[in-house]
Structure 1
Amino acid sequence: MDGKPITERELFIRIRARLKAAVGEDVFNSWFARLDLEEIVDDLAHLSVPTRFLCSWIQSNYAEKILDAFKAEFADVARLHFTVRINGQARPRLAPLPESAAEPQAGTSPPTSRPARESVAAPPRADALSGGALDPKMTFDSFVAGAPNEIALGVARQVAHAALNNTVSFNPVYIHSTVGLGKSHLLNAIAWAAGAGDASRSIVYLTADHFMYHFITAVQRQSALAFKEWLRRVDLLLIDDMQFLQGKSATEFGHTLGTLLTGAKQVVVAGDSPPRDLDMLDERVRSRLSGGLVVPITGFDLDLRRAIVTRRAEQASTRFAGVHFPPAVIDYISRVVISHGRDLDGAVNRLVAANQLTHEPITVALAERTLADLVRSREAKRIRIEDILRIVSRHYKVPRNDLLSSRRSRDVVRPRQIAMYLAKSLTSRSLPEIGRRFGGRDHTTVLHSVRKVEQLMKDDGDLAQEIELLKRMLEE
């Protein structure tokens, strides 16, 4: 080599080539094609992917291979951190590049031991520590109201109005529902209505992933105290996807929540289950959340689905020439796409794309062809670990707390192993996540349980049938 440092972009091209050679082109295209290198800070490589499932799968199955590829090209990297890109961006970054460091001074040469960082514009002030990017499309005006979400919407509006006037309402607020029913939309809408565009207001929106990322990075940089002080000075804190908060970050959230509530600062949290089911949180934190205003959003009924499709169709008609959704098509989408709001948006977008690309009128026949997989997906129920614990506990007559405990008696161990096997088989949770949900166990314990049950099913036909019965019970 000529001693000229390679850029991080060039380094990652080499690493991708190593990964493709190691896993084969098919596997590479399936799992690594959308993997990006965001930055390298000290010995930590920050990587991002577009979906939470992809992030979990890569961490669980390929983290070691990726780290090996990094070490082969750049020995300084000893750790990896994965995040999910929000609106195409991975935030927060570990270390925004100071302008003075973007290029070497005249007459000097950059160090050859590290990849040269390419010149990057400094992020605006609001992004330095404000966490996830807000979506400008998620406002109260674009939120479609109906019976399943009208209480949550009313509470969100009141919280935003109070925050705009520097007061507090219903503190803390906890909104919960299954995926795609509007929790993130409401949190974004609260932020915008409370004055997110006003630099004088301290409004922080963070996903649980970003909260953990901030905290872990602060600890690694020995600036945890500054991070805590910054977070506790906010006027409005919004935390999304609370179910993904784990480990010491969950403890830190508990401390932050207590401090903010004591100081009469507004906190709004969203998760996929009620506070009592957030096993990773301390009992006192769950109690604090439960002691606030807990607001569920229930599954969308036909009227709300029709209202959403009608609104999206009207928006599409104003944006694209020749797009028209007949009432029969709106009715068809509303009846057959019943999973969640994002699929309703996706259904409208697909039909618009089909119309624009083929110039075929939007009809029920076109909808049947274009939305076939969405219609099939309505039969697939989203299974949670909490559902598995409940069904296994009831089937084997073992208390749920025993399944999460350290008890080693056979009447507890076998149902616990089966529950872990079902969690791995029927959910997208990673082994470490499953271990945490089962009383803080190591991922190797989960892997041992999964392999044990798989072997037992091969050797014992009755057990195999029993587990199939449990799967059917969970999928009903």
Structure 2
Amino acid sequence: MAQSDNPSEPQRDLWIRVRARLKASVGEDVFTSWFARLELEEIVDDLVHLSAPTRFLCSWIQSNYADRILEAVQQDAPDIARLQVTMRVNGQARPRITQVQDVAPSSEAPAMAAAAIVAPQALSTPRLIRDNTATKGDALSGSAIDQRMTFETFVAGGPNEMALGVAKQIAQAAANNTVTFNPVYIHSTVGLGKSHLLNAIAHATQQADSTKNIVYLTADHFMYHFITAVQRQSALAFKEWLRRVDLLLIDDMQFLQGKSATEFGHTLGTLLTGAKQVVVAGDAPPRDLEMLDERVRSRLSGGLVVPITTFDVELRRAIVQRRADQATARFGMHFPVPVIDYVSRVVVSHGRDLDGAVNRLVAANQLTGELITVPLAEKTLGDLIRSREARRVRIEDILKIVSRHYKVPRNELLSARRSRDVVRPRQIAMYLAKALTSRSLPEIGRRFGGRDHTTVLHSVRKVEQMIKDDVELGQEIELLKRMLEE
């Protein structure tokens, strides 16, 4: 087949048929988990190029389902012999790679003395570099640590003051071979600085003592490395490597699940016993990470749990002022005080949106030559403000509201009880989860006590019918929606 910048109409039709075959072959649950987010980028000669939204999904598909996908493609295109999966960044796939770099077999290096995680700009397949001659400090170099995220660039305020103080104390203690709080768990909604603090801890510790073995891993990297180790029968070496780290930083804990979560629990116990420091970040308190093993949640809860709350207007203004000062120093433009006040008042979601708002104003000034004014901000940031007006609803929020409204304990909503006083609130909670969150049916089922997606679908349809038949119930559910969205 000839190469094209985008899939041609026949190629898109082929991919639709391939998706249908995969769904019929593996079932809807597996298809939704692993195949639904794959997209066809191009078909070139004997190679089919797909893209996925995360590095972990790229690696998992390539390692576990490449043959199955090729078989499905070859039913229509028998000349296709190779499959490549790359990661999409900002909706765009990485360029096609003619030769994929493989991880060295485990037999070449039975012991893992140090490791470096390939940066996000590298190949879509992350790898563990095994180098028995590497020093401890090499564990930090080449990792996914952002060089810009230091304590000096962190903007402090009331909502994050405690987390910042704890992070600095951890870095100082780790550099001095002592442990103050262990493990430390930092949690907040998206964009409030968790990853920044983890990166800052790593930077400060490494600067104080370059011989420290510091490992920063996102949850999907941890899952990938553990699964790869198991497949290559090197799990024991992987565990031994992890147990030699001085400072382990795990980000996005909410994405860790299954065997990897269990393995993290064992590793956490070993690190704590050895007085090693562990810092974890997630989007909810440990008790609400229901996909994790109870022992893991218990160990995290038993350490120091530090929340970062929603930014208040003072902290938002400090962030906007810092970004505006940086833009002024770089481009020589002027950010009037009313503009800084306006942005900090109307962009209320999180720090990344505040950064984005300043970047938009800089771009508007550079491209159009308009002075940075409040009218320009109103025009430039309108869609950003509107897109963030609705509060991000979490399943945990729904469980709390429904539990309080119907006077049913939260654990009953997640239990197997079938009495009417529990079943109806549970069905309403599932309906609200489908209506107000972006979670899939299988994920909602897992969050509601490990139920099947068909149970969730039945509950949603049941409540939809009850709303049609009962006006009062419809009004009651609308009230719950308003309570959740306020």
Per the shorter chain, which TM-score range? 0.7 to 0.9
TM-score calculated relative to the size of structure 2? 0.75
Q: Which of 252, 257, 278 does residue 246 from structure 1 map onto?
A: 257
Match status 1:72 vs 2:73 = yes
Instruction: Give matches, 1:12-23, under 5 Å.
Output: 18-19=11-12
Secondary structure class of the residue paired with 2:417: coil
Query: Cα distance, 1:274 vs. partner?
Result: 1.8
Aligned AA for 1:160? A
Q: In 2 relative to 1, CA 278–319 (structure 1 residues): closer, same or farther, beyond 3 Å?
A: same
Q: Which of 289, 300, 308 does residue 319 from structure 2 map onto?
A: 308
Cα RMSD after superposing both structures = 4.2
Secondary structure class of the residue paired with 1:167: coil
Match status 1:207 vs 2:218 = yes
2:120 paired residue number: none
Q: In 2 relative to 1, CA 293–121 (structure 1 residues): closer, same or farther, beyond 3 Å?
A: closer
Aligned AA for 1:296? P
Query: Cα distance, 1:272 vs. partner?
Result: 1.7
User: Structure 1: where are the runs of 5+ without partners?
Assistant: 25-30, 38-44, 101-117
Aligned AA for 2:163? A
1:472 paired residue number: 482
Q: Which of 179, 187, 203 does residue 168 from structure 1 map onto?
A: 179
Q: In 2 relative to 1, CA 13–187 (structure 1 residues): closer, same or farther, beyond 3 Å?
A: same
The question of whether the paired residues in 1 share the 8 Å contact of 2:50 and 2:84 is answered with: yes
Q: Which of 99, 102, 105 does residue 97 from structure 1 map onto?
A: 102
Q: Which has the higher contact order (CA 8 A, sep 6+)?
A: 1
Q: Which of 49, 52, 55 does residue 48 from structure 1 map onto?
A: 52
Secondary structure class of the residue paired with 2:334: coil
1:351-384: CA deviation from partner (whole Å, max 9, x where unpaired)? 0011111111111110011111233345311111
1:392 paired residue number: 402
1:7-43: CA deviation from partner (whole Å, max 9, x where unpaired)? xxx799779963466669xxxxxx9798779xxxxxx
Alpha-carbon distance in 1 for matches of 2:50, 2:274: 35
Higher mean alpha-carbon deviation, 403-412 vs 218-227, is at: 218-227
The question of whether the paired residues in 1 share the 8 Å contact of 2:247 and 2:276 is answered with: yes
1:152-187: CA deviation from partner (whole Å, max 9, x where unpaired)? 111111211222333323111111112211011101
2:393 paired residue number: 383
Alpha-carbon distance in 1 for matches of 2:414, 2:84: 29
Q: In 2 relative to 1, CA 344–70 (structure 1 residues): closer, same or farther, beyond 3 Å?
A: farther
TM-score calculated relative to the size of structure 1? 0.76
Aligned AA for 1:340? H
2:436 paired residue number: 426
The question of whether the paired residues in 2 share the 8 Å contact of 1:36 and 1:48 is answered with: no
The question of whether the paired residues in 2 share the 8 Å contact of 1:130 and 1:206 is answered with: no
The question of whether the paired residues in 1 share the 8 Å contact of 2:140 and 2:214 is answered with: no
Q: In 2 relative to 1, CA 436–219 (structure 1 residues): closer, same or farther, beyond 3 Å?
A: farther
1:84-121: CA deviation from partner (whole Å, max 9, x where unpaired)? 8699999xxxx842699xxxxxxxxxxxxxxxxx9x99
Match status 1:222 vs 2:215 = no
Alpha-carbon distance in 2 for matches of 1:238, 1:386: 25
1:139 paired residue number: 150
2:293 paired residue number: 282
Aligned AA for 1:179? V
1:358 paired residue number: 368
Alpha-carbon distance in 1 for matches of 2:225, 2:336: 48
Aligned AA for 1:336? V
Q: In 2 relative to 1, CA 98–342 (structure 1 residues): closer, same or farther, beyond 3 Å?
A: closer
Match status 1:346 vs 2:347 = no
Secondary structure class of the residue paired with 1:371: helix
Secondary structure class of the residue paired with 1:294: strand
1:178 paired residue number: 189
Secondary structure class of the residue paired with 1:205: strand
1:314-363: CA deviation from partner (whole Å, max 9, x where unpaired)? 1112222x422111111111111111111110100000011111111111
Secondary structure class of the residue paired with 1:149: helix
The question of whether the paired residues in 2 share the 8 Å contact of 1:34 and 1:49 is answered with: no
Alpha-carbon distance in 2 for matches of 1:86, 1:138: 21
Matched-pair identity in %: 71
Q: In 2 relative to 1, CA 82–423 (structure 1 residues): closer, same or farther, beyond 3 Å?
A: farther
Instruction: Give matches, 1:312-351, under 5 Å.
Output: 312-320=323-331, 322-351=332-361
The question of whether the paired residues in 2 share the 8 Å contact of 1:243 and 1:278 is answered with: yes
Aligned AA for 1:192? H
Secondary structure class of the residue paired with 1:381: coil
Aligned residues: 423
